[in-house]
Amino acid sequence: QSVLTQPPSASGTPGQRVTISCSGGSSNIGSNTVNWYQLHPGTAPKLLIFGNNQRPSGVPDRFSGSRSATSASLAISGLQSEDEADYYCAAWDDSLNGWVFGGGTKLTVL
Amino acid sequence: QVQLQQWGAGLLKPSETLSLTCAVSGGSLSGYSWNWIRQPPGKGLEWIGEISHSGRTGYNPSLKSRVTISVDTSKNQFSLKLSSVIAADTAVYYCARVPVFGVVIMIDYWGQGTLVTVSS
């Protein structure tokens, strides 16, 4: 059981916009910023969004993030086939004094 | 470009000790905390623990009694040991970097992952 709650799956067709939610609590998302990661099988996880809504250099602006209270969301617009991957939210937890993650959302591009 | 290259035994028997090492290239250990994170098959990510370049550690309470994370600044690498492994410790293990400067907290670089299987 993951500390942060994500839907297990999401899907969309090429060109569509999809959003993935992430729900937490006061000790994690409510107190600290949220990061989002993209995982393709067999490769190192990639940082997509940090600080709730900031994109690292090289990440397309099709990816955007937001946070409100104890929830966050990742939006992917102009969906592409290479976006098919697993997506995880993460935040520092002040009670655990460590990182907590969502259970992951498997995105399928139909 | 920062790279984290990890290695270690991939198949263990129950009660053995898991041992993984992560070498950092393209950057210094100083100014960062160095983390281990794992993902059991079909499950989400779980934080194991962290170490600073000075050797200060923090562990997930659920694993604390079995985990040791150490750092070797002369080799620019850090290591994970997990003792008395059981089948539930089967997972892909990742090493990862967290900058400790600045306001935003994030894991910015990850290793490629090592599948560790515990089976008799």
Task: Report the pLDDT value the prediction gives residue A41, as an integer from 0 to 100.
Answer: 84
Calpha distance A51→B106 (Å, rounded): 8
Could you say which of A37, A44, A88 has the minimum Cβ distance to residue B111? Answer: A44
The CA dihedral of A95, A101, A102, A108, to the nearest 10 degrees, is: 170
Residue B18 confidence class, pLDDT cut points 50, 70, 90: very high
Is A78 in the B-facing interface, judged by CB distances under 8 Å? no
Question: Token digits for B4?
Answer: 């984290």
Q: Quote the distance between the C-alpha of residue B103 and its chain's center.
A: 24
Looking at B36-108, list the stretches that DSSP marks H as alpha helix, in order from N- to C-terminal side.
none
Calpha distance B70→B55 (Å, rounded): 7
Q: What is the pLDDT of residues A21-45, one digit of tens each?
A: 999 999 999 999 999 999 998 889 9
Q: Nearest residue of B to residue A89 by CA position?
A: B45
A92, A99, A101, A106: best to mutate for the B interface, most B CBs within 10 A: A99
Contact between A92 and B50 using a beta-carbon 8 Å cutoff? no
Contact between B117 and B9 (Cβ < 8 Å): no
Bridge partners (DSSP) listed for residue B109: B97
Taken as a whole, chain B contains a residue count of: 120
Residue B102 confidence class, pLDDT cut points 50, 70, 90: confident
Taken as a whole, chain A contains a residue count of: 110
In this structure, what are the phi and psi dihedrals at residue B114, rounded to the nearest 5 degrees? -130, 120
